[in-house]
């Protein structure tokens, strides 16, 4: 089979890919994508491929008559999540799978780092030179937390949420999930009344993907329902939040803090209101990252390639 | 019994203390200590007490003929850890217990926040506005870690170390302990060759207390044995580290980073060489802190008071 790969893959990951696809023909575009999140430039090599791995151009996919499987190199798939595209792949028998499993651990670990940096007051503590016993020190030390007995609400409960539950369990934090359809296998209670859940949680963890139902989910009304002093986290997608309302809630002292790995747009302009909002901490969409992510992505692809060859179900199939 | 309390206890914790000591006489000094870590000013009320709770003055303890039990309000007890003092309390039948159990969770959580802030590159990521896919972003994302498969060496393995093991277990990190006397109940492997262990660990976590054997433990020779690029953490006591050698190892790029909650002295002067050393992150001895620490301390004391009244062993007895 012809496998079109538009990822910027090299080193150990490329060796892994070459060895794992022996017997197949690998086709690379003239210019690979800048990252696992980026769309590649349209490349005509895609038109004759059986399999595409990366972030292939939607227009070219829709003009292909050979494609049978697309392995997307990210967890989010907003670029492909449109009714016409879903109809196209369904009518042409093209399977589409994502790489959520690859990024779940990095994303969950990133959220955990946010929760703990907040609990231990790191942004303040790392900047403080207060002597033990001074008023500044006493305030800082008493503001520090262990998370024990607090409540965290996880919105958008998939692979990342599950991993996060594993990581948070020993901390003694009470966990609740909110998702579109409860399946009964969540392992933690699933809430039905989102307003009540927002009013009761000390930590609101937004892992919602970007789709028509989630865009603007955290509007001013929902942000206003969050318990006073609670902490808001976002590692889903920036479009799920009304950023002006979020900035206002921080300025008003209503929210304890916001920790964001995703924004809309990315990066936010240097003069964006969230950049100057108090207690707003932003990382530049590095949550899913890890030093070995390209190798993990290739391994995930190769595992799915074996399944595809054998006619078995693909891991992370989304269409 | 007369109970001398020199802690700055008030609010809910004071109510708890008053209720839990009914039937006994509570005696407070003219000026309480500034914090759970501070020595109180000598106060003659101690001289006639049966029990002391806090950080009572050593000279006054040694002039008392009534004291039978001292509950120290901290985990560390350098102030009392001298052969003459040990001889005095032994010959006078005075029991001494510490509050390590109270601070173990806060300390372990603080170390966990350090490990994760480092793994997710938070000091760099929170300051970055790099666009996805840019060279700066790619370096940052690839430097991010999940800790899975890495090795952490824990030095000084007591209540904090045990709690840390619980918190780190789901992260898939390999854990090793180093302690003066292995007891066989550590639950993780105990290393014998410290040099070899330092050379193999990605994370060196120093929880050593301050005592004659530990002062200067991390001298230049031991710091030099640490694997290149490894991360050094200290939440034990600042005196266990040669701080000039540590600054030099950071400047030389030998150590990946240092995360310190304790230093010698505290706070370090603003112009101390560690304050300007690269990748050196310092919090002002807030590791054990939590919003409810005073109530936790009082509960721990009251639990020991019940044991003392019943002639049972005290939790955290150190002398």
**pLDDT 10s digits, B107-129:** 999 999 999 999 999 999 999 99
Read off the tokens for A264: 């809309």
What is the distance in angstroms between the Cα of A92 and the nearest Cα belonging to chain B? 32
What is the C-alpha separation between A87 and B63, in angstroms, rounded? 88
Indicate the DSSP class of residue A82. S
Show which of residues 150-169 on chain B sit within 8 Å of chain A, judged by CB atoms: 166-167, 169
Closest CA to B257 of B140, B159, B129, B123: B123
Which region holds residue B28: left if phi is over 0, alpha if psi is between -120 and 50, else beta? beta
What is the C-alpha separation between A179 and A213, in angstroms, rounded? 12
- State residue B37's pLDDT score: 75
Three-state DSSP at A91 gives helix
Q: Considering A110, A203, A237, A300, which one is annotated as catalytic?
A: A237
Q: Considering B110, B203, B285, B300, which one is annotated as catalytic?
A: B285
Query: Rounded to 5 degrees, what are φ and ψ at A20?
Result: -75, -15
Cβ pair A259, A287 in contact under 8 A: no
Cβ pairs A/B, distance under 8 A = 177
| Among the partner residues A113, A120, A130, nearest to B109 by beta-carbon distance | A120
Cβ pair A153, A197 in contact under 8 A: yes
Cβ pair A130, A105 in contact under 8 A: no
Between chains, do A131 and B35 touch, taking CB under 8 Å as contact?
no
Predicted ipTM?
0.88
What is the C-alpha separation between A29 and B232, in angstroms, rounded? 44
Between chains, do A125 and B285 touch, taking CB under 8 Å as contact?
no
Question: Any CB–CB contact under 8 A between B119 and chain A?
Answer: yes
Minimal Cα distance from B139: which residue of A?
A291
Q: Which residues of B touch A110 (CB under 8 A)?
A: 120, 144
What is the distance in angstroms between the Cα of A261 and the nearest Cα belonging to chain B? 9
pLDDT in tens, A167-181: 999 999 999 999 878
Q: Considering A251, A285, A306, A317, which one is annotated as catalytic?
A: A285
Is the sign of the CA dihedral B14, B17, B20, B24 positive or negative? negative
Read off the tokens for B16: 């708890």
Alpha carbon separation from B24 to A164, A232, A268, B98 (Å, rounded): 48, 47, 62, 21
Count Cβ atoms below 10 Å from residue A26 Cβ, excluding itself: 17
Three-state DSSP at A167 gives helix
Instruction: Annotate A157-181 with b (16+ C-beta within 10 A) or e (fewer).
Output: bbbbbbbbbebbbbbebbbbbbbee
What is the C-alpha separation between A37 and A72, in angstroms, rounded? 9
Read off the tokens for A287: 């949550």
Between chains, do B293 and A267 touch, taking CB under 8 Å as contact?
no
Contacts 24+ apart (CB under 8 A), A313-316: A314/A69, A314/A95, A314/A97, A315/A97, A315/A101, A316/A97, A316/A98, A316/A99, A316/A100, A316/A101
Question: Any CB–CB contact under 8 A between A124 and chain B?
Answer: no
Show which of residues 170-189 on chain A sit within 8 Å of chain B, judged by CB atoms: 170-171
Written as one string, the DSSP assignment of chain B is -EEEE-S---HHHHHHHHHHTTTSEEE--SS--SSTTSPPPP-GGGGG-SEEEE---HHHHHT-SS--EEEESSS--GGG--HHHHHHHHHTT-EEE--HHHHHHHHHHHHHHHHHHHHTTHHHHTT--PPTTSHHHHHHHHH----TT-EEEEES-SHHHHHHHHHHGGGT-EEEEE-SS--S-SSS-B-S-HHHHHHH-SEEEE----STTTTT-B-HHHHHHSPTT-EEEE-S-GGGB-HHHHHHHHHTT-SSEEEES--SSSSPPTT-HHHHSTTEEE--S-TT--TTHHHHHHHHHHHHHHHHHTTPPPTTB--
Q: Are strands A25-27 and B25-27 parallel, antiparallel or unpaired?
A: unpaired
- State residue A266's pLDDT score: 96
pLDDT in tens, B71-91: 999 888 888 989 999 999 999
Rounded to the nearest integer, the mean pLDDT of chain B is 94
Question: Any CB–CB contact under 8 A between A37 and chain B?
Answer: yes
Cβ pair B293, B76 in contact under 8 A: no
Alpha carbon separation from B98 to A84, A92, A137, A159 (Å, rounded): 68, 71, 22, 43
Between chains, do A129 and B267 touch, taking CB under 8 Å as contact?
yes
Indicate the DSSP class of residue A287. T
- State residue A47's pLDDT score: 87
Contacts of residue B162, defined as CB under 8 A and 6 or more positions apart, other chains included, come to B104, B187
What is the C-alpha separation between A40 and A8, in angstroms, rounded? 10
What is the distance in angstroms between the Cα of A118 and the nearest Cα belonging to chain B? 9
Indicate the DSSP class of residue A75. S
Q: Which residues of B touch A133 (CB under 8 A)?
A: 33-35, 37-38
| Among the partner residues B109, B131, B144, nearest to A146 by beta-carbon distance | B109
Q: Before B267, cis peptide (omega within 30)?
A: yes
What is the C-alpha separation between B210 and B228, in angstroms, rounded? 27
Q: Is the model's pLDDT at B49 over the cut of 90?
A: yes
Q: Is the model's pLDDT at B33 over the cut of 80?
A: no
Read off the tokens for B58: 């050593």
Read off the tokens for A315: 């891991």
Q: Are strands A231-234 and A174-178 parallel, antiparallel or unpaired?
A: unpaired
Which regions of chain A are under pLDDT 70?
A: none
Question: Any CB–CB contact under 8 A between A285 and chain B?
Answer: yes
Helix (H) or strand (E) run with residue A174 in it: strand A174-178
Between chains, do B167 and A170 touch, taking CB under 8 Å as contact?
yes
Alpha carbon separation from B18 to A239, A296, B30, B85, B299 (Å, rounded): 53, 58, 18, 30, 11
Q: Which residues of A touch B117 (CB under 8 A)?
A: 113, 116-117, 122
pLDDT band at residue B313 under the 50/70/90 scheme: very high
Q: Before A156, cis peptide (omega within 30)?
A: no
Q: Which residues of A touch B291 (CB under 8 A)?
A: 142-145
Question: Any CB–CB contact under 8 A between B130 and chain A?
Answer: yes
Residue B237 a catalytic site member: yes
Between chains, do B283 and A126 touch, taking CB under 8 Å as contact?
yes
Contacts of residue B206, defined as CB under 8 A and 6 or more positions apart, other chains included, come to B155, B156, B217, B218, B232, B233, B234, B235, B236, B240, B241
Alpha carbon separation from B171 to A164, B116, B287 (Å, rounded): 10, 10, 21
Read off the tokens for B203: 């994370």
Burial class (CB in 10 A: 0-12, 13-18, 19+), B180: exposed
Residue B285 a catalytic site member: yes
pLDDT in tens, B173-191: 999 999 878 888 889 999 9
pLDDT band at residue B233 under the 50/70/90 scheme: very high
Please identify which residue in the block is written with the tokens 């307003």.
A195
Q: Which residues of B touch A268 (CB under 8 A)?
A: 129
Please identify which residue in the block is written with the tokens 């800048």.
A34
Q: Which residues of A touch B125 (CB under 8 A)?
A: 283-284, 286
Between chains, do B38 and A132 touch, taking CB under 8 Å as contact?
yes
Between chains, do A283 and B137 touch, taking CB under 8 Å as contact?
no
What is the distance in angstroms between the Cα of A85 and the nearest Cα belonging to chain B? 25
Question: Any CB–CB contact under 8 A between B128 and chain A?
Answer: yes
Q: Sheet of B174-178: strands edge to edge?
A: B174-178, B151-155, B203-206, B231-234, B257-260, B280-282
Question: Any CB–CB contact under 8 A between A28 and chain B?
Answer: no
Q: Which residues of B touch A282 (CB under 8 A)?
A: 126
What is the C-alpha separation between B164 and A311, in angstroms, rounded? 45
Q: Are strands A2-5 and A25-27 parallel, antiparallel or unpaired?
A: parallel
């Amino acid at each position: 089979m012809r496998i079109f790969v538009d990822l910027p893959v090299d080193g150990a990951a490329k060796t892994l890919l070459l060895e794992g696809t022996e017997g197949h023909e690998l086709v690379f575009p003239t210019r690979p994508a800048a990252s696992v999140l980026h769309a590649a430039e349209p490349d005509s090599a895609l038109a004759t491929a059986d399999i595409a791995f990366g972030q292939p151009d939607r227009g070219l996919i829709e003009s292909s008559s050979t494609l049978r499987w697309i392995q997307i190199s990210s967890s989010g798939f907003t670029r492909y999540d449109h009714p016409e595209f879903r109809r196209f792949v369904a009518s042409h028998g093209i399977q589409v799978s994502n790489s959520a499993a690859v990024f779940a651990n990095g994303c969950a670990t990133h959220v955990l780092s946010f929760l703990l940096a907040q609990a231990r007051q790191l942004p303040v503590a790392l900047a403080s030179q207060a002597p033990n016993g001074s008023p500044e020190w006493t305030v800082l030390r008493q503001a520090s937390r262990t998370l024990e007995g607090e409540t965290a609400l996880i919105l958008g409960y998939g692979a990342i949420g599950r991993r996060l539950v594993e990581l948070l369990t020993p901390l003694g934090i009470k966990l609740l999930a909110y998702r579109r359809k409860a399946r009964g296998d969540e392992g933690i209670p699933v809430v039905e009344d989102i307003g009540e859940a927002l009013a009761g949680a000390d930590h609101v963890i937004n892992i919602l993907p970007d789709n028509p139902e989630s865009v603007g989910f955290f509007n001013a009304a929902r942000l206003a329902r969050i318990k006073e002093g609670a902490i808001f986290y976002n590692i889903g997608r920036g479009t799920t939040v009304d950023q002006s309302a979020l900035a206002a809630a921080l300025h008003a002292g209503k929210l304890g803090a916001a920790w964001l790995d995703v924004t809309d747009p990315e990066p936010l302009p240097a003069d964006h209101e969230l950049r100057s909002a108090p207690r707003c901490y932003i990382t530049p969409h590095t949550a899913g990252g890890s030093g070995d992510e390209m190798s993990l992505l290739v391994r995930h692809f190769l595992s799915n390639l074996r399944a595809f060859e054998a006619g078995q179900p693909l891991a992370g199939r989304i269409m």
